[in-house]
Structure 1
Amino acid sequence: MAAGGGMSRGEAAAVRDCVDMLGDAADELRESAEEMERMKEGRGSGTQEAERFEISNVQTWVSAALTNDDTCLEGFGGDLPSSVSELVRSQVVNVAQLTSNALFFINKLASFEP
């Protein structure tokens, strides 16, 4: 921790990078939710081949979101064992677990044979 109780440069950089990564992850999850909503409402392409492509897009976006979560966590490894780092890490771990759960269900949906 820096003098005066603030964040060190390394922590500040890790937090900035993490905010960027989580912002990207949120965009990917939002796009996934919108695609699934279009599919649910029947506004997708309609053919079985097109539906497989659409769910594949969702898988890709949620997987990318999980990668961004993991990349954020990597920024808090090593020599950043402060309370700020631990707080951010614990919250990002929760987000990553939820994203992983979502990906599990999307993969199950993708493997469904009508």
Structure 2
Amino acid sequence: MKSVVWIYTVNTDGVVIRSSGSGMMWISSKKFQDKLKKELLPEWNLSIISYDIAKNDIPDADIIMYNEMDMAYLDEKIKNTGLPVSYIDLQTKNADSIKKKLEKFAENKI
């Protein structure tokens, strides 16, 4: 099973930064996250995190996904090697599109 970490929100020392993830409706976001996790199984193990920019630790995973609107906050290593997730896909909860983009990205990376 391949691992993918999705940086859903960004924070600094535990305080969420106003970003795409912080502006979404959390109840429906959790349902969408769970749906995407199920759809990616059994090939992918999806972990969803909040990335602490104060620590700048690079998550350990085969692929790192992040919300495209959070690019300004992320380490260059993540931006240069990770998969940006479209804000439109997040707002429309388009799990199929995200899955297809992940699979295509993985073909070129892994």
Q: Work out which of the two has the higher radius of gyration on C-alpha atoms and give 1 or 2.
A: 1
TM-score, reference length from structure 2: 0.23
TM-score, reference length from structure 1: 0.23
Richer in helix (by share): 1
Richer in strand (by share): 2
